[in-house]
A = this chain, B = another copy of it.
Amino acid sequence: MAASNQVIDINELRQSCAGCALNALCLPAAIGGRDLARLDDIVKRRRPLARNDFLFREGDRHTSLFVVRQGAIKTSTMLPEGDTQVLGFHLPGEILGLDGVADERHRATAEALEEASVCEIPFAKLSEIAAQLPALQRQLYRIVSREFVREQQHPVMMGRKHALTRLALFLHSVSERRRNQDLEPHEFQLSMSRQDLASYLGLVIETVSRAFSRLQTQQIIDVDRRRVRILDAVALGQLANSEDTDLRAIA
């Protein structure tokens, strides 16, 4: 259907990629029209996910990379005793599914925290195409590595000794990630429950709740349930970067 008018076709594709936040993958790689079409062919635009829908589950055989278009996805893994550890929250423009490439079996579960839409890219096909497009290949490695580095921020946060610092770090990172997507960085709605957040931060739910309250009384944030407004970004940053023992001085 597209072969008749290639100009329009490419624009459509670029747009779909741009909208899909896949731009990180294809646009800067300066891929030509024909190649872009091939890439586009394998990208599945999934019907939107509802809250609590699973994108994939631990143990799923099929392996794909996913790019979050809208909404938020939580990844988690089952612990031996039956409860779960939240591994990450994925916001628009971020990818997930890199676990699972190793043995073609997902090692984590991905669940929508709110209405969400994603692009799915079957990994086998992607790597096939990438093999023939050095620019795409490089881009793919870059994205994988970036994901790897992001991943390392999690233990950095969990290594902090104080609940307040961990939460500040988290809120700061959400703010930054929103800024990168040209979204309002100082006011947003958290899509995860306190329970999810607690697991992610390595705390219990009550501690998270108290940490929110403290930030509120310090006038650093204004929080009403899941709605967060950052009142004093500087103080939040200081707190996030504070040596654990300095904590008292700031908050």
The interface residues of chain B lying within 8 Å CB-to-CB of A159 are 85, 158, 199, 202
Are B202 and A149 interface neighbours, CB within 8 A? no
Are A98 and B137 interface neighbours, CB within 8 A? no
A235 CB → nearest B CB, Å:
15
| A contact residues, total (Cβ < 8 Å) | 47
A233 to B168, CA, bound (A): 39
Q: Is A81's beta carbon under 8 Å from chain B? A: yes
Knowing A151-B151, A159-B202, A202-B159, the reply to whether A145 touches B85 (Cβ < 8 A) is no
Q: Is A213's beta carbon under 8 Å from chain B? A: no
A148 CB → nearest B CB, Å:
5
The interface residues of chain B lying within 8 Å CB-to-CB of A134 are 128, 131
Q: Is A32's beta carbon under 8 Å from chain B? A: no
Q: Which of B83, B85, B141, B148 contacts A147 (CB 8 A)?
A: B148
Are A137 and B131 interface neighbours, CB within 8 A? yes
Q: Which of B80, B107, B123, B156 contacts A152 (CB 8 A)?
A: B107
